[in-house]
Amino acid sequence: MASNRIGRINEEIQKELSSLIRNLKDPRVQDTMISITHVETTPDLRWAKVYVSFLQEERAKDALKGLKSAGGYLRRELGRALNLRYTPELMWALDDSITYGAKMMKLINSLEVKKDEEADEN
């Protein structure tokens, strides 16, 4: 039962942070396409680990620094929106699953091309 509640809270945090990030004035964050892929909250609601993915890999470090510096503002606005007893402290983590997936698709496609080339030779 409690895990279902935590799951719903994680989804709400993800939704709210997605909308709040769009309104940040920090140029490191504003000029980068950011996607929140997953949120994990501790059972006592004290900490939330937010996994973010960036479209532009070269801007990821700066954007992550911008998110960390805006953490206080985001936490305060999150507390206002969610009405929880405790608003979790936000920890930001880089999620490279999209990049990893693109790399795997590229490898699979290159194998298919090699297979087709070998079939054409025979």
- Any idea which architecture 2-96 has in CATH? 2-Layer Sandwich (3.30)
The reported pLDDT for the residue numbered 118 is 72
- Spatial neighbors of 30 by CB under 8 A, at least 6 apart, are 24
The reported pLDDT for the residue numbered 1 is 47
Per-residue pLDDT of the chain (122 residues; tens, 9 = 90+): 456 889 999 999 999 999 999 888 988 888 888 889 999 999 999 999 999 988 888 888 898 999 999 999 999 999 999 988 889 999 999 988 777 888 889 889 888 777 777 777 76
* The two structure tokens encoding residue 90: 């936000």
DSSP for 17-36 reads: HHHHHHT---HHHHTS-EEE
The reported pLDDT for the residue numbered 3 is 67
Q: What gap in Å lies between CA 17 and CA 53, rounded to an integer? A: 13
The reported pLDDT for the residue numbered 16 is 94
